[in-house]
Amino acid sequence: MERLQKVLAEAGIASRRKCEELITAGRVQVNDEVVTTLGVKVDPKQDSIRVDGKPIRKQSKVYLLFNKPKGVITSAEDPEGRKTVTDFFKHLKVRVYPIGRLDYDTEGLLLLTNDGDFAHLLTHPKFHVPRTYLATVNGVPHGTMLDKLRSGIKLEDGMTSPAEVDYYDVDPDKKEAIIKITIFEGRNRQVRRMFDAIHHPVIKLKRVQFGPILLTGVPRGKSRPLLPVEVEELRKAAQDVGAGKSHNIHKGELDV
């Protein structure tokens, strides 16, 4: 048994919030009875569910890797009319939504799906899968500054978890450096705030790895389906984190 609004969202009707609005507006029927109460549970395999008189159809699960460009909102829609990640997937017959977020000014690896349970597994704090970024920062941080990030650094919302941090490329002439950083939590604008805290603000930020999945061979603004084995690797990575097992990050060529 699942909540009605979740079943509607996973059938591609609309976002879960919009589906809640459809329910309270009396536009949803379950077994020929209008339902207006949120939280009602249904069996999508047994119950007849209709929206505006039309039966919903169960969709196959879709899992995508997208190379998000800078200047795109990680959202299904934007009230300001800015381009969103879902604008890149209007050709699909199913509705997909992003797993987690990348800031407007951040580019790189973003996963999308129509599988709510999978998205929940990868975004719940208990199962937080490591994310790796390449951060181009102003100036060249001294090793002691990077040690602060490795140990955990105090932000306005508390201490961060220890991060894995290494120099990726240094250009003394440009007075900037690219730092590879892996974090194990998902606070708002966390990587940028961590580098602000050591007085080396981020100039450019790109996510290049999500758990075991690397961003390789996917041009900016393009996507590819995740392989079934990759989906299972992500599930296992999240479950391992939840079980307190050590992180197993694949090493490979990063796409800069």
User: Rounded distance, CA 236 to CA 64, Å?
Assistant: 17
| Residue 103 designated active-site | yes
Sequence letter at residue 256: V
8 Å CB contact between 191 and 108: no
Place of tokens 């060529």: 253
Closest residue by Cα to residue 213 from 95, 69, 113, 146: 113
Distance, in Å, from the CA atom of 128 to the CA atom of 122, rounded to the nearest integer, reads 6
List, as one string, the DSSP characters of 141-181. --HHHHHHHHH--EETTEEPPP-EEEEEEEETTTTEEEEEE
CA distance 104 to 189: 10
Catalytic residue among 103, 105, 171, 173: 103
CA–CA distance, 68 with 216 (Å, rounded to integer): 13
Count other Cβ atoms within 10 Å, centred on residue 170. 13
Q: Which residues contact 222 (CB under 8 A, 6 or more apart)?
A: 66, 67
Residues designated catalytic? 103
